[in-house]
Structure 1
């Protein structure tokens, strides 16, 4: 599995001022709706339901919100780089500025876990995160994300 099979170039955005986790989830839902054609409200509800089980802020300024949705035929992703870090109730209590959201089919099983592991490995790479934080161009961010695993896997 490659990130390029999960993430469309248009689903990578740089976002200005978000004031809450709820607003962040709305932004993720809107991007997913515009790129992948899913219902934004369904995506937001699913993210909030998952988050109520425990925070998806994994530390070091990174959040990996994820949810399962009815009607999806594949796993899809949305990446946001926040211009101003947002309080996210992360495990290390640090604000978040890199957000990679995954949406998986309701019955995706192990594929959802594989995708989450791939994203997690990519986002744990300090070099990748430094490049993501240093760039404000969505095309560059997409290239950094999709090339990271390819070069490491070779």
Structure 2
């Protein structure tokens, strides 16, 4: 798996701190619509539905919201760096500032799980997260994610 298959450079954004998780999901849905042509409302609803099953804040300031959605042929992602961390309700209670959302076809099965594991491995690396936190240019953030994932491909 390659980050370029999951994440377009245009789907990387830097935003302020959202007022709520719902507002963050709205931002993610709007980016997914603009970049991948997803229905923003459906994307937001699917993220909220998944989140109701349990928090997707995985710890150390990272959240991996994900959803299965109609109208997709492949898994795609949106990465958002928050200028100010906010309380996401993560498992470790730490505020979140790095968010990688995945949108998968409704019947993706293993493809969705592989993408989630791949992104999780990438963002579990403290050095990668430190580089992401030290930069605020979307193209640089995309390059960091892409180069980090290539080194983890093995």
> Which range, TM-score by smaller chain?
over 0.9
Could you list the runs of 5+ residues in structure 2 that have no partner in the other structure?
Answer: none
Aligned positions of 1:103-114 closer than 5 A: 103-114=103-114
Runs of 4+ in 1 over 2 A off after TM superposition: 151-154
Does 2:106 correspond to 1:122? Answer: no
Q: In 2, distance between residues paired with 1:40 and 1:20?
A: 17
Equivalent position of 1:80 in the other structure: 80
Equivalent position of 2:17 in the other structure: 17
Are 2:2 and 2:153, in contact at CA under 8 Å, matched by a contact in 1? no
Could you list the runs of 5+ residues in structure 1 that have no partner in the other structure?
Answer: none
**Cα deviations by residue, 1:79-118 (Å, 9 ceiling, x for unpaired):** 0000010111100001100000000000000000000000
Are 2:122 and 2:152, in contact at CA under 8 Å, matched by a contact in 1? no
Does 2:97 correspond to 1:97? Answer: yes
Does 2:60 correspond to 1:60? Answer: yes
Query: TM-score, length-normalised on structure 1?
Result: 0.98
**Cα deviations by residue, 1:2-32 (Å, 9 ceiling, x for unpaired):** 1110000000000013111000000000000
Equivalent position of 1:132 in the other structure: 132
Q: In 1, distance between residues paired with 2:17 and 2:11?
A: 18
Does 2:151 correspond to 1:151? Answer: yes
Q: In 1, distance between residues paired with 2:121 and 2:44?
A: 25
Count residues with an aligned counterpart: 154
Q: CA RMSD in A?
A: 0.8
